[in-house]
Amino acid sequence: MSSTVRRRSLPDLLNLSGRVAIVTGATRGLGRAIAQGLAEAGADVVVASRKADACDRVAAELTKGTPGSGTPIACHVGRWDDCDRLIDETIQQMGRLDVLVNNAGMSPLYSSLDAVTEELYDKTLGVNLKGPFRLAVLAATHMAAHEGGSIINISTGGSLVASPSQLPYACAKAGINAMTVGLADAFAPKVRVNCVQPGPFRTDSSRGWAPPEGEDVPFVPMGRMGRPEEIFPLIVHLASDASSFTTGASIRVDGGVTRKV
């Protein structure tokens, strides 16, 4: 018998048809773009976010407008009970789980570091680190016991160059970077775990501080902010068989902001 391994075409490697992907924070911003990209690649996407009506709307849009589909499941990722329910309901409804994108996050404002309350600090770490940890462990445990899978954690370039104005958020996302490496080791070889570190993207959450559209952005070497659709090709790659030898990696998508780190 020949030991030659048949080379698959790139479109075949990137095809996610028949696979189920959970995307948290999927109803707006980068999460919405990620859900769109996965569904366009053929995945059945579980749209998870706190607001059930927003989940319903986005899931319907994906089902109507892509080769994949959308299934809404409301979830507050800062609550472990909600995280457990999200994984359980996904497996019960969809019959499998192949991809988890830990995208949901929050970066609250505060007037000074000594004004950061215990409640704000705990809430920030709960949404940005505690919940993603629980979801990743549950998803990876299921994947390892079945056909394997891919977990993609969304961190931030700010975890590498922490700003005083976003310090609790940066601390939590630095934990995501470490968690990625640890889980990649724990669940190999059947489950791959990788991390994407976005920089400044133009989304609804950046409207309060971003320069107007079309103006030069001097702190970004590319001269502009990212567009949401510029992140999902990488997510599709990491979710698919095209990245079959990639795990424990952290990949920056920041227009060069953290180039000197």
**Active centre residues (catalytic):** 169
- Positive or negative torsion for Cα 228, 105, 246, 94: negative
Q: Are 128 and 172 in contact (CB under 8 A)?
A: yes
Which element (helix H / strand E) includes 207?
Answer: none
> Given the DSSP bridges, would you call strands 149-154 and 191-198 parallel, antiparallel or unpaired?
parallel
Counting DSSP H helices and E strands in the chain, the numbers are 8, 7
> Which residue(s) pair with 236 in the sheet?
none
Q: Are 25 and 198 in contact (CB under 8 A)?
A: no
Q: Are 236 and 41 in contact (CB under 8 A)?
A: yes
Structure tokens given for 183: 């889980």
CA 123 to CA 128: how far, in whole Å?
8
DSSP percent split of the chain into helix, strand, coil, nearest 5: 45, 15, 40
Which residue stretches of the chain are H helix? Answer: 10-14, 29-40, 52-65, 80-94, 118-125, 131-145, 167-187, 232-239
